Amino acid sequence: MIIYREKMIQLVAEIHQANADAPDIFDYIVEAFEIVMVRIARCVNYIYSNVLC
């Protein structure tokens, strides 16, 4: 689970880096994607914690 979280953080950092050179129109797309990733991470964490254990 820690590895999964580190990869997600790395992915978000790469998106921020790419977004630094992108037009402002992509800002809301990146924010929405980050929200979705956080929700997916919470779902996966819930499944790992409560279902598999």
| pLDDT score recorded for residue 39 | 92
| pLDDT score recorded for residue 47 | 86
- pLDDT tens series, the chain, 53 aa: 667 778 878 887 887 776 666 666 677 788 888 899 899 999 888 888 888 76
Distance CA 48, CA 53 (A): 7
Q: Helix axis angle, 2-20 relative to 27-46, nearest 10°?
A: 180
Cβ atoms 19, 27 nearer than 8 A = yes
Buried b (16+ CB within 10 A) or exposed e, 15-42: beeeeeeeeeeeeeeeeeeeeeeeeeee
Distance CA 33, CA 15 (A): 10
| pLDDT score recorded for residue 11 | 81
